[in-house]
């Protein structure tokens, strides 16, 4: 046998052993993710076609409300390009080491555990160029290596659109309950709801329902309602696509200040019309 032949054979052997090592690593990761996720009763994705429509606001307030009602809740923010959950929960200065085997989520000491990609960034000025494989690896880590423990709900806030991140989630999380789609009422946002619904269908992910956010503005002085982003588009699209409509939330200036101050709106402004609408939506989700 010539030297060239031996080295070719060795190359083939080593490529085969690399492949099998890769396969077993993927299998182990899947086992890790499944064993963590199987301890969680309900897994809900919050999706939106566009950014800025209130997806994180819904995720934070839904998680807070469930935790206040005594449920054990996890909130996972994988919005790589604009994680807002730390700011919305006054956790901006918290950092969590992302190395090591087990990642300990940030907890309020009671019912809520939070993990955000924002905890991995040193400060608000940090930006990282996230490439697809890196994102997928981190999502796996967030699902398989975070000490979520036994939870009633895991709420996942993913980036807008139907790209890599929701795809990884839908492929990785076993038996999710489904997705809630957040939209604003105007056509330019509503059209993206169809894309989200199409994505859910392709991934066999149930659409729990649509929330129309920023639906009309009630003047605090005279009570007159102004349809800044129009009104009713979310319901019309839900009817058209034959998916549940969960309710609408008006534009409310206290939602903006609550987010900026890191105070969950539903907890700090319970008497407002928006909080009332939020609670009705949560009831619909739970039903």
Binding site for ligand ADP (CB under 6 A): 48, 51-57, 84, 213-214, 249, 251-252, 255-256, 259, 274
Q: Whose Cβ is closer to ligand ADP: residue 29's or residue 279's?
A: 279
Cα separation, 116 vs 159, whole angstroms? 12
In this structure, the strands spanning 225-226 and 178-183 are unpaired
Q: Which is nearer to ligand ADP, 64 or 145 (CB)?
A: 64
Q: Which residues of 22-54 are buried (b: 16+ CB within 10 A; e: fewer)?
A: eeeeeeebeebbeebbeebebbbbbbbbbeebb
116 close to 101: Cβ distance less than 8 angstroms:
no
Nearer to ligand ADP, 33 or 156 (CB): 156
Minimum CB–partner distance for residue 20 and ligand ADP (Å)? 41
**Least separation, in Å, of the C-beta of 19 and ligand ADP?**
40
Least distance (Å) between residue 251 CB and ligand ADP: 4
Pair 64, 72: CB distance under 8 Å:
no
Residue with tokens 């790589």: 80
Measured in degrees and rounded to the nearest 5, phi and psi for residue 217 equal: -125, 125
Nearer to ligand ADP, 207 or 249 (CB): 249
Closer by beta carbon to ligand ADP, 78 or else 103: 78
Give 72 or 80: the residue with its C-beta nearer to ligand ADP.
80
Smallest gap from Cβ 278 to ligand ADP, in A, equals: 9
Least distance from ligand ADP to the Cβ atom of residue 23, Å: 37
- Classify each residue of 99-116 as buried b or exposed e, where b means 16 or more C-beta atoms within 10 Å of its C-beta: eeeebebbeeeebbbbbb
Provide, rounded to whole angstroms, the least separation between the CB of residue 32 and ligand ADP.
Answer: 28
Helix or strand holding residue 127 (H, E) = none
């Amino acid at each position: 046998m010539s030297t060239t032949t031996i080295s070719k054979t060795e190359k083939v052997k080593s490529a085969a052993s690399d492949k099998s090592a890769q396969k077993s690593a993927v299998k182990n990761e899947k086992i890790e993710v499944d064993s963590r996720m199987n301890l969680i009763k309900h897994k809900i994705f919050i999706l939106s076609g566009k950014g800025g429509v209130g997806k994180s606001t819904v995720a934070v307030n839904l998680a807070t409300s469930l935790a206040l009602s005594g449920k054990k809740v996890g909130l996972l923010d994988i919005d790589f390009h604009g994680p807002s959950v730390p700011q919305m929960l006054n956790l901006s200065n918290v950092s969590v080491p992302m190395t090591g085997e087990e990642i300990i989520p940030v907890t309020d000491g009671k019912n809520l555990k939070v993990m955000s990609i924002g905890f991995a960034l040193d400060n608000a000025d940090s930006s990282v160029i996230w490439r697809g494989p890196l994102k997928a690896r981190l999502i796996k880590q967030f699902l398989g290596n975070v000490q979520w423990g036994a939870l009633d709900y895991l709420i996942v806030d993913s980036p807008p659109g139907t790209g890599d991140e929701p795809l990884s989630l839908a492929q990785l999380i076993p038996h999710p309950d489904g997705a809630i789609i957040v939209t604003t009422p105007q056509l330019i946002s509503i059209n993206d709801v169809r894309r989200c619904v199409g994505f859910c269908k392709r991934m066999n992910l149930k659409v729990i329902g649509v929330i129309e956010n920023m639906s009309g503005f009630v003047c605090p002085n005279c009570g007159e309602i102004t349809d800044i982003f129009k009104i009713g588009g979310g319901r019309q699209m839900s009817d058209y696509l034959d998916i549940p409509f969960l309710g609408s939330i008006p534009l409310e200036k206290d939602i903006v200040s609550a987010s900026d101050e890191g105070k969950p709106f539903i907890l700090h402004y319970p008497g407002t019309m928006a909080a009332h609408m939020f609670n009705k939506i949560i009831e619909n989700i739970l039903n």
